[in-house]
């Protein structure tokens, strides 16, 4: 018979403590980062990789796969899906670009998105992030198909289903699902055929509703609350139960700290492999004793070419004019894609902590958008474009080198 708790039982010494959640008391007895509730261990980290990799692997082979298999599987599938989507976009909108552009885009897509760093220590933390990235990539693939191939019902449904599944891997992606589904409905109201609109809207709303009910029931059966994922019962090196993860009073300072960690913290350079590695400077410590962060390498240092995204609003404004209707579906697709990193960052930046692996929650989408932004710029024959091309090429090569080296940061 199946069970929701882990097969490992908490040590009696742990349960006998005056406060089993106090890290100073439980350090010798706890199962690190497991959630302890009513004498049983649970995992806070999502069910998505369980149902989509571990269970099928166990049923087919009879063996339990190592965590590195799962991380590699999801990251490889994420790359394949995203690259196939880039190929479709290039064939449809940028057939004049040479194939070397696509090859270079593939290298950037696969090596600068923090995926090598996730593979350097493939544990259940990284598996949850990788599986969420995989299903978000699937969702974007089906969204593109829905927008470009006659608003087919199956594409709309699969987009919504894959997107809803991301919340079972990373709970904060529920916000992404909510915003992106609503934004897609707005697009459908504007452009979809009237006779297909109602069915499409129902198909978009059905998967999030069903998965929300299932996830709420799953939480209730474990923690007696539909909203509790186990975070408040985690056994960590910090007193999670007493730590204010969302500190409203310090929210503005946390946003500043988060921007520094995720974008502005420089990496360190050394003469032996890895030549580049994440750092934990004392800059934030001087300003805050409550903000929690690990060694990191800010994205503007590891993938500086993403600054090209700042040109996107002007490009969208130009190409969404009535006289430029040829690129209109792509422009709308980019607008919808942009909602993902904006929503994720809106959540991560208000938290009272940050870590390098969280960069993978938003970096793949910024990189994907940056590539298409560069292609849009290349359609312009203005004299200054060659400078942008040179910048993108040089920073892209540097970013690939840095990304590979981050893969050795265990």
pLDDT reported for residue 2: 65
> Mean pLDDT over residues 113-134, rounded?
96
What pLDDT score does 44 carry? 83
Continuous H helices in 287-362: 299-302, 312-319, 328-348
How many Cβ atoms are within 10 Å of 194's Cβ, its own excluded? Answer: 7
User: Within 13 Å and on the Cβ side, how many CA atoms surround 125?
Assistant: 16
Check pLDDT > 60 for residue 14: yes
pLDDT at 289: 62
Q: Residues 387, 390, 392, CA angle at the centre, nearest 5°? A: 110
Model confidence at 380, pLDDT cuts 50, 70, 90, reads confident
pLDDT value of position 282? 65
Per-position DSSP letters for 77-102, written without gaps between them: HHHHHHHHHHHHHHHHH-TTS-HHHH
Instruction: Mean pLDDT check: name the lowest of 72-86, 275-289, 303-317, 334-348.
Output: 275-289
Q: How confident is the model at residue 186 (pLDDT cuts 50, 70, 90)?
A: very high
Per-residue pLDDT for 288 more than 70? no
The 10s digit of each residue's pLDDT in 157-175 is: 999 999 999 999 999 999 9
Contact present, 239 and 22 (Cβ < 8 Å): yes
Q: pLDDT per residue over 59-69, tens digit each?
A: 999 999 999 99
pLDDT, mean of residues 57-82: 96
Phi first, then psi: what are they for 287, rounded to 5°? -105, -25
Q: Looking at residues 359-372, what average pLDDT do you find?
A: 98
Tens digit of pLDDT for each residue in 292-335? 888 899 999 999 999 999 999 999 998 888 777 789 999 999 99
d(CA 168, CA 174): 8
| Residue spans per domain, the chain | 44-406
Inform me whether the pLDDT recorded for 244 exceeds 70: no
Residue 342 has pLDDT above 70, yes or no: yes
Q: How far is CA 85 from CA 140, 161, 354, in A?
A: 8, 18, 30
What percentage of the chain has pLDDT greater than the value 70?
Answer: 95
**Could you tell me how far CA 132 lies from the centroid of its own chain?**
6
Nearest CA among 303, 338, 265 for reference residue 114: 303
- DSSP result, 370-398: HHHHHHHHHT---TTHHHHHHHHHHHHHH
pLDDT of residue 56: 96
The pLDDT value given to residue 322: 76
Question: What average pLDDT score do residues 174-187 get?
Answer: 98
Confidence of residue 340 (pLDDT cuts 50, 70, 90): very high
- Arithmetic mean of pLDDT, 249-264: 91
Tokens of 83: 């690259």
- The pLDDT of residue 46: 84
Q: What does each C-alpha distance from 369 to 220, 330, 336 come to in angstroms?
A: 38, 11, 11
Q: What is the pLDDT of residue 97?
A: 93
Tokens at 111, concatenated: 């090596």
| More confident site: 204 or 353 | 204
The pLDDT of residue 385: 83
The mean pLDDT of 91-108, rounded to a whole number, is 96
Mean pLDDT, range 235-245, rounded to an integer: 72
pLDDT in the model for residue 177 = 98
Q: What is the mean pLDDT of the chain?
A: 92
Mean pLDDT value across residues 109-138: 96
Residue where the block lists tokens 């939480």: 219
pLDDT per residue over 138-158, tens digit each? Answer: 999 999 999 999 999 999 999
For the cut 70, the answer to whether the pLDDT of residue 84 exceeds it is: yes
């Amino acid at each position: 018979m199946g069970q929701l708790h882990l097969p490992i039982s908490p040590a009696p010494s742990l349960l006998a403590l005056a406060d089993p959640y106090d890290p100073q008391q439980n350090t010798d007895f706890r199962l690190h980062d497991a959630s302890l509730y009513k004498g049983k261990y649970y995992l806070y980290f999502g069910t998505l990789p369980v149902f989509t990799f571990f269970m099928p692997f166990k049923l087919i082979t009879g063996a339990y796969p190592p965590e590195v298999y799962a991380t590699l599987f999801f990251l490889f599938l994420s790359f394949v899906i995203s690259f196939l989507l880039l190929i479709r976009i290039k064939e449809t909108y940028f057939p004049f670009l040479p194939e070397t552009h696509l090859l270079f885009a593939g290298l950037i897509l696969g090596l600068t998105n923090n995926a090598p760093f996730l593979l350097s220590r493939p544990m259940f933390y990284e598996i949850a992030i990788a599986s969420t990235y995989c299903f978000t990539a699937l969702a974007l693939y089906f969204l593109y198909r829905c927008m470009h191939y006659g608003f087919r019902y199956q594409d709309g449904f699969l987009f919504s289903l894959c997107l809803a599944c991301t919340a079972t891997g990373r709970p904060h992606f529920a916000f992404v699902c909510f915003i992106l589904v609503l934004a897609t409905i707005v697009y459908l109201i504007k452009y979809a055929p009237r006779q297909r609109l109602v069915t499409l809207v129902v198909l978009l709303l059905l998967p999030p509703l069903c998965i929300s009910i299932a996830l709420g029931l799953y939480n209730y059966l474990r923690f007696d609350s539909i909203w509790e994922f186990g975070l408040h019962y985690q056994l960590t090196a910090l007193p999670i139960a007493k730590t204010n993860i969302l500190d409203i009073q310090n929210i503005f300072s946390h946003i500043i700290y988060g921007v520094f960690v995720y974008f502005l913290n420089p990496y360190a350079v050394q003469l032996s492999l890895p030549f580049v590695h994440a750092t934990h400077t004392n800059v934030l410590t001087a300003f805050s004793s409550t903000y929690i962060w690990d060694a990191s390498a800010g994205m503007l240092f590891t993938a500086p070419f993403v600054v090209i995204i700042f040109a996107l609003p002007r490009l969208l404004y130009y190409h969404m004019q009535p006289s430029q209707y040829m690129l209109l579906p792509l422009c709308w697709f980019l607008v919808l894609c942009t909602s993902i990193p904006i929503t994720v960052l809106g959540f991560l930046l208000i938290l009272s902590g940050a870590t390098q692996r969280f960069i993978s929650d938003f970096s793949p989408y910024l990189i994907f958008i940056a590539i298409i932004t560069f292609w849009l710029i290349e359609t312009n024959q203005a004299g200054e474009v060659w400078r942008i091309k040179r910048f993108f090429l040089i920073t892209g090569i540097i970013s690939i080198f840095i990304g590979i080296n981050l893969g050795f940061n265990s």
